[in-house]
Amino acid sequence: MLDLNQLRKDLEPLVQGLAKRGVQFDTERFQQLEARRKAVQVETETLQAERNALAKRIGQLKSKGEDASEALAQSQQIPVRLKQLEQDLSQVQAELSSWFATIPNLPHESVPVGESEEDNVEVRRWIPGPKDDQGKPAHITFEPRDHVDLGEQFGLDFEAARKLAGARFMVLRGPLARLHRALAQFMLDTQVEEHGYTECYTPYIVNASTLYGTGQLPKFKDDMFWVTKGGQDNEPADPAESKPEDLYLISTSEISLTGMVRDEILAGDALPMRLTAHSPCFRSEAGSGGRDTRGVIRQHQFDKVEMVQIVHPEQSYEALESMVGHAEHVLQALELPYRVVQLCTGDMGFSAAKTYDLEVWLPAQDTFREISSVSNCEAFQARRLQARFRADSKARPEFVHTLNGSGLAVGRALVAVLENHQQEDGSVIVPKVLRPYMGGLERLVPAK
């Protein structure tokens, strides 16, 4: 969430920053709400002062044995009005909070201005083998097969998944299931052993407060799977209990990893926190518009190894660059060509102030496709989460900065390994770093 106090001091940077993201801020509405808030607060302060003055006067009158009934009558009316003002203030603040919960983060000054992915800026690319005259990978000299044709030879089964759950799910069997597991384990081990992340296992179901804090709610509610318990409407068993929060399947373990610092004041020396987790992710893909219906690219359920850092505000942009390097390291170890792209203002995620995408080369599509997105959210999530730190025991609490990124998406990595390491005879070379996880297997060979 944006800093309301800062906006009250200087609104123009907010208006200009949101305009770069294609969002028109309703200045008139904000000023009207602020005028209501100020009027309520001024009247409240005036009545409180009047109440104190009347209390003093009543005491003086009584001490002199004089009639205090008129002053008492006046003082008895004040609490009624103060209660009404309290409700009015609560209403204004709720309207402001509800509105600001739908407003995205401001872009960092270094983010290129643009409207869509067409305006993103390539930062660098890593091509380990030969290139064509356009700088694209040219290591495959035959007509490449796509991951669906390749995968079906080794245990990829969409028909079984459709019978179990419907479209956009998959079943993996045998060597392909093991390759999928090997990728996840390798990624997790790399982030823990080489990059210093703490491995975590977190719930796959979270409450609405956690999703609000990380920015998925309310904006992306329709893109998530909701959870009900026992087929009931989630009503409490005991009428005296409050109704429990709605529950959702996580769309990324960023939600649970970042959410662990909700309502916390961390010690300064606890930063930076580096957390990682391997988890399934669930997305309804309500806004996908029918894209990538073939294959594994866009599924309702997929696995991801997530990286999250909770850092001191002065260190967050250094942390962003290092996290991009952590994701790149995995791609290079898997010998997968890729490029790094800086997203423009119109293509960034809701909570992000600056984002890099890593796009892996897919030969059958003759293009680069996203496999990791690494973002600095600055204090945007921290304000919603009330996640703070103290530099020392006497310092005032400050909001932390939060960062997240894929290290990597396992299903898309599986796609990239199949397509980039395919051989003309239909076999697939297993990258060297994965062979220890595959029992020493060097190649996937189609059954004859």
370 labelled binding-site residue: yes
Is 372 assigned a ligand-binding role in the annotation? yes
The reply, when asked if residue 371 is annotated as ligand binding, is: yes
Q: Are 285 and 259 in contact (CB under 8 A)?
A: no
Tell me: is residue 393 an annotated ligand-binding position. Answer: no
> What's the chain look like in SS3?
CCCHHHHHHCCHHHHHHHHHCCCCCCHHHHHHHHHHHHHHHHHHHHHHHHHHHHHHHHHHHHHCCCCCHHHHHHHHHHHHHHHHHHHHHHHHHHHHHHHHCCCCCCCCCCCCCCCCHHHCEEEEEECCCCECCCCCECCCCCCCCCHHHHHHCCCEEHHHHHHHCCCCCCEECHHHHHHHHHHHHHHHHHHHHCCCCEECCCCCEEEHHHHHHHCCCCCCHHHCCEECCCCCCCCCCCCCCCCCCCEEECCCCHHHHHHCCCCCEEEHHHCCEEEEEEEEEECCCCCCCCCCCCCCCCCCEEEEEEEEEEECHHHHHHHHHHHHHHHHHHHHHCCCCEEEEECCCCCCCCCCCEEEEEEEEECCCCEEEEEEEEEECCCHHHHHHCCEEECCCCCCCEECEEEEEEEEEHHHHHHHHHHHCECCCCCEECCHHHHHHHCCCCEECCCC
* Phi, psi (degrees; rounded to nearest 5) at 127: -120, 105
386 backbone φψ class: left, alpha, beta (φ>0; ψ -120 to 50): left
The radius of gyration of the chain from alpha carbons, rounded to an integer in Å, stands at: 28
CA geometry: angle at 353 spanning 350 and 359, to 5°? 80
**110 labelled ligand-binding:** no
Residue 254 known to bind ligand: yes
Q: Kindly report the number of other CB atoms within 10 A of residue 64's CB atom.
A: 9
User: Is 253 part of any known ligand binding site?
Assistant: yes
Annotated binding site for L-serine: 252-254, 283, 306, 404, 406
Known binding residues are 252-254, 283-285, 306, 370-373, 404, 406
Provide the annotated binding site for ATP. 283-285, 370-373
